[in-house]
Amino acid sequence: MNELILIKLGEIALKGLNRRDFETALVKNIKYRISSLGGFKVKIAQSTVYVTPENEYSDVDEVEERIKKVFGIAAYSRAARAEKDMESIKAAAAEYLKDELESCETFKVEAKRSDKKFPLKSPEICRELGGSLLEKFPHLKVDVHNPQITVNVEIRDFGAYIHGDAKKGAGGIPVGTGGKAAILISGGIDSPVAAYMMAKRGVELTAVHFASPPYTSERAEQKVRRLLEIVSGYSGRMIMYTVPFARIQEEIQEKCPEELFTIIMRRFMMQISQKIAEEHGCAALITGESLGQVASQTIGAIACTDEACTMPVFRPLIGMDKEEIITIARKIDTFETSIEPYEDCCTVFTPKHPRTRPILKYVKAAQNELDCDALIAQALDNLKVTKIGFDLYKGS
Q: pLDDT for 202-224, tens place per residue?
A: 999 999 999 999 888 899 999 99
Return the pLDDT at 394. Answer: 54
Nearest to 171 by CA among 8, 369, 324, 10: 10
Return the pLDDT at 47. Answer: 86
Residues in the chain, total:
396
Return the pLDDT at 54. Answer: 87
Return the pLDDT at 57. Answer: 77
Residues 6+ apart with CB under 8 A from 190: 288, 289, 290, 293, 317, 325
Q: Which residue pairs, CB below 8 angstroms and at least 24 apart, start in 94-101?
A: 94/132, 94/133, 94/136, 94/137, 95/1, 96/1, 96/3, 96/162, 96/163, 97/149, 97/151, 97/162, 97/163, 97/164, 100/149, 100/164, 101/133, 101/137, 101/140, 101/149, 101/151
Which stretches of the chain score pLDDT less than 70? 1, 345-349, 351, 353, 392-396
What is the CATH architecture assignment of 2-170? 2-Layer Sandwich (3.30)
Residues of the chain with CATH 3.40.50.620: 180-388
Residues 6+ apart with CB under 8 A from 276: 182, 206, 208, 241, 243, 282, 380, 383
In CATH, the number for domain 180-388 is 3.40.50.620
Distance CA 285, CA 273 (A): 7
* CA atoms lying within 13 Å on the CB side of residue 113: 14
pLDDT tens digits along 123-173: 999 999 999 999 999 999 999 999 999 999 999 988 999 999 999 999 999
Distance CA 159, CA 84 (A): 6
> What DSSP state is assigned to residue 310?
-
Q: Phi, psi (5° rounding) for residue 295?
A: -60, -30
Residues of the chain with CATH 3.30.2130.30: 2-170
> What SS3 class is residue 82?
strand
What angle, 0 to 180 degrees and rounded to 10, lies between the N-to-C axes of helices 360-367 and 299-306? 50
Residue 124: Cβ-neighbour burial (10 angstroms; 0-12, 13-18, 19+)? middle
Distance CA 16, CA 316 (A): 26
CA angle 140, 145, 150 (to 5 degrees): 55
Threshold 0.75, pTM exceeds:
yes
- Paired with 242 in beta bridges are 209, 384
Q: Phi, psi (5° rounding) for residue 81?
A: -100, 135
Residue 46: Cβ-neighbour burial (10 angstroms; 0-12, 13-18, 19+)? exposed
Return the pLDDT at 182. Answer: 98
Distance CA 91, CA 295 (A): 65
Residues 6+ apart with CB under 8 A from 340: 187, 223
Exposed e or buried b for every residue in 245-257, given b needs 16+ CB within 10 A?
Answer: bbebbebbeeebb
